[in-house]
Structure 1
Amino acid sequence: MRWNLLALTAGFVLDWIFGDPRWLYHPVRAIGVLISRGETIFRRVFPKSPQGELAAGAFFAVFVILVSSVLPFLLLFLAWKINVWFAFALSVFWDYQLLAAKSLKTESMRVLDALQEKNLPKARQAVSMIVGRDTERLDEEGVAKAAVETVAENTSDGVIAPMLFLALGGPVLGFLYKSVNTLDSMVGYKNETYLYFGRFSAKLDDVVNWIPARMSGFLMALASPLSGLSLGHAFRIYLRDRKNHASPNSAHTEAAAAGALGVQLAGNAWYFGKLYEKPSIGDPLRSVEHEDIRRVNRLMYRTSVLALAGIWGLWLLWKVLQ
């Protein structure tokens, strides 16, 4: 496990510095291609009925997860056979690619830049790249709010959860997690197309994120004073509103962030031209403003550093108690 932690720490630093350059092919894109092409094949093989689609979706998800994790395992196995340092370098590189903190910050800061330029169409376009909702109706506050929400929510499944899986099982478990997460983002919808086919993927994503989401929410509340925000309000709103979402996991970090910032997040939103009524998270002590995007990014980084320190602390404690 020590090698996993060393590789994770080095990968975390690399992500902090470089992020995801657009010219560098990302392995999650390869998983996305596998999902897109595999979906057609599995749908063709199984009956076009609710039961058939449920079975197709389950077998499809297992197939994607196996390919996405077995291939890195084999490559790492060969790398260890060649040279231990080559294998370690490959682990560091993959850990770096599987963490999304810098990418999350970069994309959300593009929204902030557009808002500061008073260019609402550009801000809507920028935020549409990181959220799933319709953005053409959003005003300036709505755009800022959407950016804050996506940074808060993705602190868990884009940063903290991958860190936990990478610490436990290196890139192999990291890729396994990312395959589940990508499956959910591509087929885990409750619409006519994916209601049955994507159900297994959606439920599996709920399972693998159950512990990371709760850890992330707690750590985000704990990190709030490190970011100059309210510890007490963060914990109060986290405990009160962490279940205010249809997903059992999505509201935990949003609730902690809303409390820390003293704003109200979530609420009704448009998706694919249809208005969905959703509960709000947090208290409207003030309106969401542009600078909240910068603040939530600062909170995301403090949370991830706290998580990394906690992972190392737990490992050291385990070594001492052996």
Structure 2
Amino acid sequence: MSFAGMMLVGMIVDVIIGWPKAFYTRISHPVVWLGKLISMSETRLNRGSRSHRLFGGFIVVVLCLLVVIIPAAGLQSMLPNSISGLLIGGILAWPLIAVRSMHDHVCAVALPLVAGDIVTAREAVSMIVGRDPKQLNEEGIARAAIESLAENTGDGIVAPLFWGLVAGLPGIAAYKAINTLDSMIGHRSERHEAFGKAAARLDDVVNWIPARLTGLAFAIASGSGCMRALNCMNRDAKAHRSPNAGWPEGAMAGALGVRLSGPRAYGDTLVNEPWLNGGAADPSAKDLQRALLLYRRTMAGIALALAALTLL
């Protein structure tokens, strides 16, 4: 069974139809199902002393991994080693790949921003970032959207495809479980610092290679901007607050010739983050459009790589 072929099929199906609203209305989404399990588990286990919370968080990680890996492995074992098996496997992987939704969410920011509709652009960007949109001007909105596009290309697309390529359906399912755990409980807050520690650390580990591959993919897809992207990524990525997000964001900043990261506001709190490509100008609405073009080129390149691996 070609795992590369399965991932390619899942990617193509997602690009064509995304996750239809009718599906979401009737059956929701596998990540939402997992989110409900995480919420219920947290209610029961995130209590008591710090050591109890640490252990409870570890138990939730193990539970969620078992819940997704066992059925995924069972389904994969039943797939015929043929074209039909490859197609079925790809369809099963499809809900866990977010190529189209990523593009659509960022495009919803870019279109009104280019048209000068700051109010609508702020509302759209608030759906994909946590910072206070009321304080964002055109450059701030563009910067937030580009950063989200770069980081989430890594953990929403490249990482699932990578682990699917490594282990098929169990690989992509396990990764999505880890990433969902991190997004829900892996925060450095009083409530989640101990309980979400296992999830956050595991997410850092499983994203280590994909984040760097994402930066490399952005650099290659940028064409003439390849060396700028690589240089910026290698120079600035380690200064980022995240051990992984700085690599795709740094490559994106270098490829576009803009600066990213830097100070930002979360509610009333101002966070002073270091700049990526700090000597460049702030991004504009047109730079956000250029980022989307680079994203599309990167997705096309990844699809071609998967096709080549499938043939090999």
**Normalised by the size of structure 1, how large is the TM-score?**
0.88
Q: 1:221-261: CA deviations, max 9, x gaps? A: 12111xxx512211111111111212110100000000000
| TM-aligned CA deviation for residue 284 of structure 1 | 4.3
2: distance between equivalents of 1:13 and 1:21? 14
Q: Secondary structure at the match of 2:150?
A: helix
**Corresponding residue number in structure 2 for 1:70:** 70
**Corresponding residue number in structure 2 for 1:55:** 55
| TM-aligned CA deviation for residue 315 of structure 1 | 6.8
Q: Secondary structure at the match of 1:23?
A: helix
**Corresponding residue number in structure 2 for 1:270:** 265
Q: Secondary structure at the match of 1:248?
A: coil
Tell whether the 8 Å contact from 2:153 to 2:214 is kept in structure 1 after alignment: yes
2: distance between equivalents of 1:201 and 1:293? 32
Equivalent position to 1:212, from 175, 190, 210:
210
Instruction: Compare 192-201 and 132-141 and name the one that shifted more.
Output: 132-141
Counterpart code for 1:29: V
**Corresponding residue number in structure 2 for 1:30:** 33
**Corresponding residue number in structure 1 for 2:45:** 42
Counterpart code for 1:132: G
| TM-aligned CA deviation for residue 311 of structure 1 | 4.7
**Corresponding residue number in structure 2 for 1:168:** 166
Tell whether the 8 Å contact from 2:132 to 2:267 is kept in structure 1 after alignment: yes
| TM-aligned CA deviation for residue 41 of structure 1 | 1.9
Tell whether the 8 Å contact from 1:69 to 1:176 is kept in structure 2 after alignment: yes
Within a 5 Å distance, the mapping from 1:225-244 to structure 2 comes to 225=223, 230-244=225-239
State the number of aligned residues. Answer: 308
**Corresponding residue number in structure 1 for 2:155:** 157
Q: Secondary structure at the match of 2:133?
A: coil
**Corresponding residue number in structure 2 for 1:127:** 125
Runs of 5+ unmatched residues, structure 2: none
**Corresponding residue number in structure 2 for 1:11:** 10
Change (3 A) 1:102 1:315: closer
| TM-aligned CA deviation for residue 70 of structure 1 | 1.7
| TM-aligned CA deviation for residue 73 of structure 1 | 2.6
Tell whether the 8 Å contact from 2:133 to 2:141 is kept in structure 1 after alignment: yes
Change (3 A) 1:95 1:293: farther
Instruction: Compare 48-57 and 270-279 and name the one that shifted more.
Output: 270-279
2: distance between equivalents of 1:133 and 1:178? 24
| TM-aligned CA deviation for residue 272 of structure 1 | 4.2
**Corresponding residue number in structure 1 for 2:139:** 141
**Corresponding residue number in structure 1 for 2:193:** 195
1: distance between equivalents of 2:71 and 2:42? 19
**Corresponding residue number in structure 2 for 1:293:** 288
**Normalised by the size of structure 2, how large is the TM-score?**
0.91
**Corresponding residue number in structure 1 for 2:103:** 105
Change (3 A) 1:174 1:120: same
1: distance between equivalents of 2:161 and 2:230? 23
| TM-aligned CA deviation for residue 169 of structure 1 | 1.6
Runs of 5+ unmatched residues, structure 1: none
